[in-house]
Structure 1
Amino acid sequence: MIPVRGFEGQNVAVLGLGRSGLSAARALQAGGAMVLAWDDNPAARDRAEAEGFTLRDLTRQGAFGDIASLVVSPGIPHLYPAPNPVIAAAWEAGVPVDNDIGLFFRSLGLSDWAGHDTPPRVIAVTGSNGKSTTSALIHHLLCAVGRESQLAGNIGRGVLDIDPPGDGGVVVLELSSYQTDLARALTPDVAVFTNLSPDHLDRHAGLGGYFAAKRRLFAEGGPDRAVIGVDEAEGRYMANQLAEGPADDRVIRVSVGRKLTGPGWQVFARKGFLAEWRKGRQVAAIDLRDITGLPGAHNHQNACAAYAALRALGAAPREIEAGLHSFAGLPHRSQTIAERDGVRFVNDSKATNVDAALKALLAFDRIRWICGGLMKEGGLAGLAPGLGHVAKAYVIGREAEGFALQLSGIEAEICTTMEVAVARAAAEAQPGEVVLLAPAAASFDQYDNFEKRGEDFAARVAALG
C-alpha cells in the first residue's frame, strides 16, 4: 500500500466505494487521515462500514463543513454531462476535489526514497486504443530485462494498493481519460500517448474535451520523457508543444503509418519491422512479423510505444527484442489461445466496436470470423476495408440476422450461439487460416461482459479436443 500523505488528523471524504474508492479510503487511513465514506449504493456502504470506515451522507446540506478534501471514484461525472451533486456541493464549500491517481502522485516517494541508489520511476500510459496492451507489454519487458516492475491503474491493481517500489523499481500505470481528467497531481517520469479516436464523448463534451483530458498527463507536471503517437493530428500537435526544437530528444515520436525522419528520436514500424532512429541515423531494428502475441499493425504500434518507453529508461534494444518475443498478449485482446491442425484460434472479445474489430481483421490474411452481439450506433460500414480478409463470417447474438444483413459481400452463417459458431468455424477452417473472435459488438445480449464472452470462446475451442 502507498499511504496517502498530507492529511494527517484531517477529515477526507471519499465518494464512490468500488475498487478505487475503497483502496483510496484504506490508503488515506494508513496515512493518518480521518475517512468519511459515502456511496449511493447501500451494499457498497455496508462493505465500507464492515471495514470500519465512518459513513457520512455527503448529499445532505452542510456535509462539507469540516472536510479538507473530497476524493472521487473515476466513474462519477465531475463536469460533463453534468457535475455530480456531491461534487458541486464540494465546489461551493471550497473543498478541493481529487482522485486516487492524484493522491498517488502526491504521496509516492515523499520520504521513502532517500536511501535508494537508483530512484524508482513511474511510466504512465494513456490514449484511446492499445493502452492496456501497451501498459502490460511495458511491464512484461521491464521484468524481462531484470527490472522490478508493478502494473496498476486502469489495469492490474489499484494505484494505491501497490507496494512501495524498491531500488530502481518501476511502476507502470494505465490511465483512462476519467482518471487523468481530475487528478490534481500528474508527474510521471515517462508518459506515453498511444493514439486518439472518438470515445467517451458525452463524459468530456466532445472530442476536444476528451483530448484535453488525455493531454493533462503531459501538461500538468511535465514528464522527463514523452512517448507520443503521431499518426493523428492531436499527437503531432502535442509532440510539437512539448519539444523545444527538432532535435529535442525528450520527445520520442512513434508511428505505424509512415517513416519518421529528422534529427530527433523516432520509433516507427513499417511492413512489420520496427526501426529506431536517433540524431538522423538508425540505431536498431526488430522484425515484429512472427511475434505471436503482437499481431497486426495496431499491436505493432503498441510494440513501438513500449519499446520507446524501455529505451527511455536505458534498456538495450536486443534485451527488449527478446522480451517482445516472450509476450503472450492480454486475455481477450488478439490472444492466441490454441493452434490445431494448422489453424490458429484468436480471442479478441475486447473488440466491442467497429474500429477495434477492423484492426483485428486487418491483422490476419484469411479469417473464419466469429462476430455479432449487441450492435452499437453507426452500423457496420466501417468494417468494409477488412472484409476482404474474411473467408466466412459466423454470426452470434440475439440480433444475428440483422447483424449478418449488414455484412455485404461476404458469406455469413447465422449461428446465434458461441457453441455453434466455434464448431462450424473449426469444421470448415483450412490450414493457415485463423478462427477469430472479434465481435464488433457489445456482449450484453448474451454475456455479462466481454470477458465472459471470451472465456466461452476459449472453452468451446478447448472442447474441440
Structure 2
Amino acid sequence: MIPVKGYAGAKVAVLGLGRSGLATARALIAGGAEPLLWDDSPEARDKAEAEGFTLTDLGRANAFDGVTSLITSPGIPHLYPAPNKILARALEAGVPVDNDIGLFFRSFAASDWDDFETMPRVVCVTGSNGKSTTTALIHHILEVAGRPVQMAGNIGKGVLSIDPAQDGEVVVLELSSYQTDLARALTPDVAVFTNLSPDHLDRHHGMGGYFAAKRRLFSEGGPDRAVIGVDEVEGQFLANQMGMGPQDDRVIRISSGQKLDQFGWSVFARKGFLSEWRKGRQVASIDLREVSGLPGAHNHQNACAAYAACRALGIAPKMIEGAFGSFAGLPHRSQLVGERGGVRFVNDSKATNVDSAAKALQAFPRIRWIAGGMGKDGGITALQPHLGAVVKAYLIGHSARDFALQLGKTPHEICETMAQAVARAAAEAEAGEVVLLAPAAASFDQYPNFEKRGDDFVAQVQALIGG
C-alpha cells in the first residue's frame, strides 16, 4: 500500500467504493486521514461496511463542512454529460476534487529513496486502443530484464494498492481518459500516447475534450520522455507541442506504417519489421512477423510503444526482442485460444468499437468473424473497407440484424448466441482460416462485461476442441 501524504488529521470524502475507492480509503487511513465514504449503490455500501468502514451520506445537507478534498472514482461523471449530484455539490462548495491517480503521484516518493542507488521510475500509458497490451508488454519486458516492476491503474491493482518502491523499481500504469482528466498531479518519468479514435465522447463532450483529457498526462508535469504515436493528427500535434524541434530526442515518435527516419528518435513498424532510428540512422531492427503474442499492425504499434518506453529506461534491444518472443498476450485481446485442423480460434472480445474491430480484421488473412452485441452509434458501416479478409460473418446479440444490413455483400449468418456462432464458424472453417471474435459492439445485451463475453467464447471453443 502507498499511504496517502498531505492529509494527516484531515477529513477526506471518498465517492465510489469499487476497487479504486476502497483502496483509496485504506491508503488515506494509513496516511492518518479520516475518510468519509459513500457510494450511490447499496451493494457497494454493504461491501464497504463488511470490510469495517463507516459510511457517511455525502448527499445530506452540510456533508462537505470541514472536508479537505473529495476523491472520486473514475466511472463517476464530474463534468459531462452532467456532474454526479454529490460531486456537483463539492464543486459548488469549492472543495477540491481529485482521484486516486493524483493521490498516488503526491504520495509515491518516500524518504528511504535517499538510500537507493537507482531512483524508482513511473511509466504511464494512455490512448484509445492498445493501452492494456502496451502496459502489460512493458511490464513483461522489464520482468524479463530483471528489473523490479509493478503494474497497476486501469489494469491489475489500484494504484494505491501497490507496494512501496524498491531500489530501481519501475511502476507501469495504464491510465484511461477518465483517470487523466481529473488527477491533480500527473508526473510520470515516461509517458506513452498510443493513438486516438472516437470513444467516450459523451463523457468528454466530443473529440476535443477527449483529446484534452489524454493530453493532460503530458502537459501537467512534463515527463522526461514522451513516447507518442503519430499515426493520427492529434499525436502529431502532441509530439510537436512536447518537442523543441524534430531532433529533440526527449520525444520518441512511434508509428505502425510510416517510415520515421527524419527525427532525433523514432520507432516504427513496416511490413512486419520494427526499426529504431536515432539521429538519422537505424540502430536496431526486430522481425515481428513470427511473434505470436502480437499479431497484426495494431499490435505492432503496441510493440513499438513498449519498445520505445523500455529503451527510454535503458533496456537493450536484444533483451526486448527476446521478451517479445515470450509475451503471451492478454486475455480478450488477440488471445489465441487454440487450434484444430489448421483453424485458429482468437478471442478479441475487447474489440468493443469499430476502430479496434477494424484492427483485428486486418491482422489475419482469412477470417470467420463473430460479431455483434449492443451496437454503438453508426453500427459497423465504417468497417466496409476492412471486410476483405472476412470469409463469412456470424452475428450475435441485440444488433445482429442491424449489423447484417450493414455488411453489404459479405456472407453472413444470424446466430443469436455465442454457442451457435462458434459451432457454425468451426463447422465451416477450413485450414488456414481464423475464427475471430471481434464484436465491434458492447456486451451489455447478453453479458455484464466484455470479459464475460470473451470467457464464454473461450469456453465454447475449448469444449469444441478440447482443452
Which TM-score band (shorter chain)?
Answer: over 0.9
Q: After alignment, is 100-109 or 430-439 more displaced?
A: 430-439
Q: 2 CA distance for matches of 1:215 and 1:263?
A: 21
Q: Which amino acid aligns with 2:111?
A: S
Match of 2:125 in 1: 125
Report Cα offsets for 1:289-310 as digits up to 9, x if no partner: 1111111111111000000000
Q: Equivalent residue for 1:87?
A: 87
Q: Which runs of 5+ in 2 are unaligned?
A: none
- Give the aligned residue type for 1:36: L
Alignment map for 1:314-329 (pairs within 5 Å): 314-329=314-329
Specify the alignment match of 2:170 in structure 1.
170
2 CA distance for matches of 1:418 and 1:83? 37
Q: 1:321 to 1:450 in 2, by over 3 A?
A: same
Residue 252 of structure 1 is matched in structure 2 by 252
Structure 1 residue 428 displacement after superposition:
1.9
| Counterpart residue identity of residue 426, structure 1 | A
Letter in 1 for 2:105: F
CA distance, structure 2, for counterparts of residue 35 and residue 421 of structure 1: 49
Matched, 1:341 2:316: no
Say if 2:7 is the partner of 1:7. Answer: yes
1:349, CA displacement in angstroms? 1.0
SS at match of 1:68: strand
Equivalent residue, structure 2, for 1:269: 269
Measured in 2, the distance between the counterparts of 1:423 and 1:88 equals 50
**Equivalences for 1:242-391 in 2 at 5 Å?**
242-391=242-391
Q: Which residue of 2 aligns with 1:57?
A: 57
Task: Give yes or no for contact 1:370–1:395 (8 Å, CA) kept in 2.
Answer: yes
The residue aligned with 2:397 is 397
| Contact residue 20 and residue 73 of structure 1 kept, 8 A | yes
Q: Cα deviation per residue 1:203-234 (whole Å; 9 max; x = unaligned)?
A: 11111111111111001111110000111111
Change over 3 Å in CA distance of 1:159–1:276 after alignment to 2: same
The residue that corresponds to 2:111 in the other structure is 111
> Does the 8 Å CA contact 1:142/1:310 hold for their aligned counterparts?
yes
What do residues 106-157 of structure 1 show as CA deviations (whole Å, max 9, x unaligned)? Answer: 0001323122111111000001111111111111111111111111000100
**Counterpart AA for 2:31:** G
* Equivalence for 2:461: 461
Structure 2: distance between partners of 1:225 and 1:165: 21
Conserved 8 A contact 1:36-1:53: no
What whole-Å deviation, never above 9, does each CA across 1:358-386 have from its counterpart, x for those lacking one? Answer: 11111110111112222222022211122
Q: For the Cα contact (< 8 Å) 2:13–2:69, is it kept in 1? A: yes
What amino acid maps onto 1:369 in structure 2? W
Matched, 1:414 2:418: no
C-alpha distance in structure 1 between counterparts of 2:402 and 2:213, whole Å: 37
Q: Deviations over 1:355-412 (max 9, x none)?
A: 2111111111011111222222202221112211011122222443342232111211
CA distance in 1 between counterparts of 2:48 and 2:379 reads 42
* Residue equivalent to 1:185: 185
Is 111-120 or 288-297 further displaced after alignment? Answer: 111-120
Q: CA deviation at 1:263?
A: 4.1
The answer for the alignment partner of 1:194 in structure 2 is 194
Classify the secondary structure of the residue corresponding to 1:106.
helix
Shift of residue 464, structure 1, vs aligned partner: 1.8
Higher deviation after alignment, 86-95 or 109-118: 86-95
Does the 8 A contact of 1:294 with 1:329 survive in 2? yes
- Which AA in structure 1 matches 2:11? N
The amino acid across from 2:82 in the alignment is: A
Provide the rounded CA distance (Å) in 2 between the counterparts of 1:402 and 1:12. 48
Corresponding position of 1:42 = 42
Distance 2:275 2:30 in 1: 46
The answer to whether the Cα contact below 8 Å between 1:35 and 1:53 also exists between their aligned partners in 2 is no
After TM superposition, the structure 1 stretch with the greater mean CA deviation from structure 2, 401-410 or 32-41, is 401-410
Which shifted more, 175-184 or 48-57?
48-57
Q: How far apart, CA to CA, are the structure 1 residues paired with 2:159 and 2:288?
A: 31
**Distance in 1 separating the partners of 2:439 and 2:453:** 10
Deviations 1:267-296 (A, max 9, x none): 001111100000110000111111111111
Deviates more, 1:203-212 or 1:419-428: 419-428
Note the C-alpha offset of 1:442: 2.0
Percent sequence identity is 74
Q: Separation in 1 of the partners of 2:221 and 2:425?
A: 51
Task: Return the offset for 1:43.
Answer: 2.6
Q: Distance in 2 between matches of 1:155 and 1:88?
A: 28
Taking the aligned partners of 1:91 and 1:462, their CA distance within structure 2 comes to 51
> Compared with structure 1, are the counterparts of its residues 86 and 112 closer, same or farther at alpha carbon in structure 2 (3 Å cutoff)?
farther
RMSD: 1.3
Q: Does 1:427 align with 2:430?
A: no
Cα distance, 1:445–1:93 mapped onto 2, change above 3 Å: closer
Deviation at 1:444, TM superposition (A): 2.2
Counterpart residue identity of residue 155, structure 1: I
Q: Which stretches of structure 1, 4 residues or more, deviate above 6 A after TM superposition?
A: none
Kindly provide the amino acid, as one letter, of the partner of residue 99 in structure 2. N
Following superposition, the deviation at residue 73 of structure 1 comes to: 0.8
Contact 1:231 1:255 in 2 (8 A): yes
Secondary structure of the equivalent of 2:4? Answer: coil
| Residues in 2 aligned to 1:243 and 1:131: alpha-carbon distance in whole angstroms | 23
TM-score (structure 1 length as normaliser) = 0.97
Matched residues in 2 for 1:159 and 1:29: separation?
15
Residues 379 and 94 (structure 1), Cα distance of their counterparts in 2 relative to 1, 3 Å cut: closer
- Give yes or no for contact 2:379–2:402 (8 Å, CA) kept in 1: no
Q: Distance in 2 between matches of 1:379 and 1:459?
A: 27
Higher deviation after alignment, 71-80 or 415-424:
415-424
Q: Distance in 2 between matches of 1:227 and 1:67?
A: 38
Q: 1:457 to 1:50 in 2, by over 3 A?
A: closer
SS in 2 for 1:368: strand
Deviation at 1:344, TM superposition (A): 1.0
Relative to structure 1, is the Cα distance of residues 4 and 243 closer, same or farther in structure 2, using a 3 angstrom cutoff? same
Q: Which residue of 2 aligns with 1:203?
A: 203
Structure 1 residue 429, shift from structure 2 partner: 1.5
Distance, in Å, in 1 between the alignment partners of 2:130 and 2:323 is 18
Counterpart of 1:149 in structure 2 is 149
- Give the C-alpha shift of residue 45 in structure 1: 2.1
Q: What SS does structure 2 have at the residue aligned with 1:55?
A: coil
Higher mean displacement: 61-70 or 291-300: 61-70
Q: Distance in 2 between matches of 1:76 and 1:419?
A: 35
